[in-house]
């Protein structure tokens, strides 16, 4: 977003626009960058979902209520609900890894 000297907004990028085109990249490069970014977002969401499934599985295996899980994880009950309901956008990977560590489930990363 760019503002004019009088403080008004001079340009707003539409939600469906390619941000890389908006930033001035040539169309071909902008499309390639947008596709790369989309793949990365999908990959990160998949990692978050896998971590959330581990936490949810632990809660189910231990027959815990969300309030009990919240106390164990040192988070609020609504945050437990967000994990159980796979609301990945509300968490960072490191927050989920920390939760798993609190449950005695250390995370190991395998590349390849």
Q: What is the CATH number of the domain that holds 88?
A: 1.10.260.40
Domain count, the chain: 1
Over 90: is that where the pLDDT of 63 sits?
yes
Please give the residue range of the domain that contains residue 81. 12-102
CA geometry: angle 44, 49, 52, nearest 5 deg: 130
Q: How far apart are CA 13 and CA 21, in angstroms?
A: 10
pTM, 2 dp = 0.79
pLDDT digits (tens, 9 = 90+) for 97-109: 999 999 999 999 8
Query: What six digits make up the tokens of 9?
Result: 């907004």
The mean pLDDT value for 17-40 works out to 94
Q: Which range (8-17, 61-70, 72-81) has the least confidence?
A: 8-17
Decide if 4 is inside a domain. Answer: no
3-state secondary structure 6-51: CCCEEECCCCCCCHHHHCCCCHHHHHHHHHHHHHHHHHHHHHHHHH
Token match 């796979």: residue? 86
């Amino acid at each position: 977003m760019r503002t004019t000297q009088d403080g008004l907004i001079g340009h707003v990028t539409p939600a469906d626009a390619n941000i890389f085109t908006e930033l001035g990249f040539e169309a071909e490069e902008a499309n390639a960058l947008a596709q790369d970014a989309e793949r990365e977002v999908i990959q990160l969401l998949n990692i978050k979902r896998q971590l959330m499934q581990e936490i949810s599985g632990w809660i189910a295996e231990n027959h815990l209520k969300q309030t009990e899980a919240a106390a164990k994880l040192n988070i609020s009950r609504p945050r437990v609900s967000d994990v159980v309901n796979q609301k990945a956008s509300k968490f960072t990977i490191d927050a989920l890894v920390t939760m798993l560590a609190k449950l005695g489930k250390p995370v190991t990363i395998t590349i390849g």
